[in-house]
Amino acid sequence: MAAKVEIYTWEFCPFCIRAKYLLTQKGIKFIEYKIDGDERARQLMSERAEGRRSLPQIFIDDQPIGGCDQLQGLEAQGRLDALLKI
């Protein structure tokens, strides 16, 4: 069974777009929370993300991964597929 992937984004954020592109290229379905201008949603995201407020914030099986750089780092290290269960 594939991992549950969630991503908090802003519509025109280039890092959000890159992270979604990587997940899409891997065939991963994800739940996207578009939080443009919604400070309450951003606060909830921050609580889940161990205080981080930057976007995107990515969660795999409810574990905070971080942003686009961390996602790409996991891919470069060859560790992302295991987390995604693919």
Contacts of 16 (CB under 8 A, 6+ apart): 7, 9, 10, 55, 56, 68
- If you search the block for the tokens 């161990």, which residue do you land on? 50
> Which DSSP helix (H) or strand (E) runs through 17?
helix 14-25
Contacts of 32 (CB under 8 A, 6+ apart): 6, 7, 8, 9, 20
- Per-residue pLDDT, averaged over 14-24, amounts to 98
Tens of pLDDT, residues 30-76: 999 999 999 999 999 999 999 999 999 999 999 999 999 999 999 99
What CATH architecture does domain 5-84 belong to?
Answer: 3-Layer(aba) Sandwich (3.40)
Q: What is the pTM of this model?
A: 0.95
